[in-house]
């Protein structure tokens, strides 16, 4: 099942041929981002986990951005999370199966989002990755991208925030499998 988000609505397409025909009607762009997890003991000394969320244009979001020409999609994900939150690249890593952290897989899912820019409809395919923070850092939101907040959130606080989030973000979080 292919789910495409258009503003706050979701369109579902059940087969690959129909999805490919749908995609051909748009200018397609690739993007990548991440759900970053940090053990709070690394941040505050309390042994719980926290997830990084950003607030962009008044809505909660996860850091992400467009793929550069010739760039590997995993590199895009790490670079964009770093740029949008101020976390140095060397302090981020994509989670893997051998990780002691909460994620079981680095790759989470791909979301599709349609938007109109300069009179042209775009279809953005975003690859999402589970990431881990390797050491404590100060967060610095990338304000020129409309990001006003970058903050660590406890898992129990996320459902309330998702009521004021971009429509594809709950879809990403739904795919996260925790140990």
φ, ψ for residue 83 (rounded to 5)?
-60, -40
Domains in the chain, number = 1
- Please classify residue 6 by burial: count the beta carbons closer than 10 Å to its beta carbon, then call 0-12 exposed, 13-18 middle and 19+ buried: middle
* 104-147 pLDDT tens trace: 568 999 999 999 999 999 999 999 999 998 888 899 999 999 99
Question: What's the distance, CA 166 to chain centroid?
Answer: 11
pLDDT higher than 80, residue 47: no
Task: Decide if 144 is inside a domain.
Answer: yes
**How do strand 107-117 and strand 120-133 relate by DSSP bridges?**
antiparallel
Task: Decide if 159 is inside a domain.
Answer: yes
pTM reported for the whole predicted model = 0.88
Task: Decide if 131 is inside a domain.
Answer: yes
Confidence of residue 176 (pLDDT cuts 50, 70, 90): confident
Average pLDDT over residues 33-61: 81
List, in sequence order, the alpha helices (H) in 14-136. Answer: 16-23, 40-43, 73-85
* 74-113 pLDDT tens trace: 999 999 999 999 999 999 999 875 444 445 568 999 999 9
Report the pLDDT value the prediction gives residue 97, as an integer from 0 to 100.
54
Task: Decide if 134 is inside a domain.
Answer: yes
Q: What is the CATH number of the domain that holds 33?
A: 3.90.79.10
Task: Decide if 20 is inside a domain.
Answer: no
Full domain range(s) for residue 160: 28-174
Task: Decide if 21 is inside a domain.
Answer: no
User: 30: alpha, beta or left, given left = phi > 0 and alpha = psi -120 to 50?
Assistant: beta
């Amino acid at each position: 099942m292919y789910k495409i988000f258009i503003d706050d609505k979701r369109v579902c397409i059940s087969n690959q041929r129909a999805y490919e025909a749908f995609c051909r009607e748009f200018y397609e762009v690739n993007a990548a981002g991440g759900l970053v997890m940090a053990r709070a003991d690394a941040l505050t000394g309390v042994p719980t986990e926290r997830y990084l969320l950003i607030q962009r244009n008044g809505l909660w979001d996860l850091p992400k951005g467009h793929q550069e020409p010739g760039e590997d999609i995993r590199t895009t994900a790490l670079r964009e999370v770093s740029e949008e939150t101020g976390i140095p690249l060397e302090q981020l890593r994509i989670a893997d199966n051998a990780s002691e952290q909460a994620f079981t897989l680095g790759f989470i899912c791909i979301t599709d989002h349609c938007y109109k820019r300069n009179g042209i409809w775009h279809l953005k395919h975003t690859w999402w990755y589970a990431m881990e923070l390797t050491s404590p850092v100060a967060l610095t939101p990338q304000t020129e991208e409309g990001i006003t907040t970058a903050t660590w959130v406890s898992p129990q606080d996320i459902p309330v925030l998702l009521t004021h989030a971009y429509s594809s973000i709950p879809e990403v979080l739904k795919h996260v499998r925790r140990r």
